Structure 1
Amino acid sequence: MLAIALALHTLASVVWVGGIFFVFVVLRPNLASLAPEIALPLWSRLLGRFFNWVWASILVILVTGYGVILFGYEGFNALGPHIRIMQVSGLLMIGLFVLMWSMPWQRFCQAVGAEDWPAALSAMKRMRQVVVINLILGFFTTAIGATGGFWSY
């Protein structure tokens, strides 16, 4: 059961961080050449679907992460520093995503619905700042998770 939880935890992390990378590095530069009245509604649909996957990933990450801590490590006292670092950086990522989703994303959706392209672009700029931070945190957290078991305590 522990192996399944770890696999699901890893896959959910890959969906989230890999999705951020794809959106930021591949989609963003290619959609930048489109007119705002075409690009922004497309962004709204694409990000809306992706954010559903992010919410699902967050749920899986939290359930499997804390499940592994409680049942695999038998609680918080036996955790190595890499698990504690992953926990803090993961919770920070979740907090930033929730903040982004509840403020600039909602403003972006309202602006796109009203065809207020300058307001939509402004909201998207704010979202992009959070995305960059979460991409860096996601790479950091993934590296910690991949290498932490090899650290000598």
Structure 2
Amino acid sequence: MVLSMAVPLVLHILAAVIWVGGMFFAYMALRPAMGATLDPESRPRLWLHTLDRFFRWVWGCMAVLLITGLWMVFGVYGGMGSTGAYVHTMLALGLVMMALFAHVYFAPFRRLRQAVTVRHNADAAFQIGQIRRIVGINLILGLLVISIAAAGPYF
């Protein structure tokens, strides 16, 4: 029982840290630094290449989060009926985060790639703004989920 919980829990936490930590870094450190140091024409290409690499990690993290979360719920706890409300809340918020990420990836990020390819910086900047807003929402949700995970069992 201990090993069956330890492995998915560690993988689950690592995936959450990579995803939420990456959003925090991009939103709170990279974005302000780019605005202060790079000319507006360089920013879209850097954002495109940075997000392209990060989004590959996010896809993997989402898969790990789903697999390990369901492994713990059904393989260790015996189903959703045996878990606390905080687990239900984490799952619901996690699914919302995944849906928001999928939207970012398939809509504004795809349009950012197209705008950078044709060097249309105004459209690229608009798409970056769209991505930034949704990532900001996802960052807040991710920090909330982490708080619920840490404190949930104590309520």
Q: TM-score, normalised by structure 2?
A: 0.95
Q: Are 1:32 and 2:41 matched, yes or no? A: no
Q: Give distance in 2, aligned partners of 1:36 and 1:45.
A: 15
Q: Are 1:22 and 2:21 matched, yes or no? A: no
Q: What residue ranges of structure 1 are gaps of 5+ in the alignment?
A: none
Q: Give distance in 1, aligned partners of 2:98 and 2:149.
A: 17
Q: Give distance in 2, aligned partners of 1:145 and 1:113.
A: 41
1:85 aligned to 81, 89, 97, which one? 89
2:11 aligned to 8, 12, 31, which one? 8
Q: Identity percentage over the alignment?
A: 38
Which residue is equivalent to 1:140? Answer: 144
Q: Are 1:50 and 2:54 matched, yes or no? A: yes
Q: How many residues get paired? A: 151
Which residue is equivalent to 1:94? Answer: 98
Which residue is equivalent to 1:114? Answer: 118
Q: What residue ranges of structure 2 are gaps of 5+ in the alignment?
A: none
Q: Give distance in 2, aligned partners of 1:41 and 1:100.
A: 17
Per-residue CA deviation, residues 35-69 of structure 1 (Å, 9 max, x unaligned), is 22211111111110000010110000000001101
Q: Give distance in 2, aligned partners of 1:32 and 1:47.
A: 16
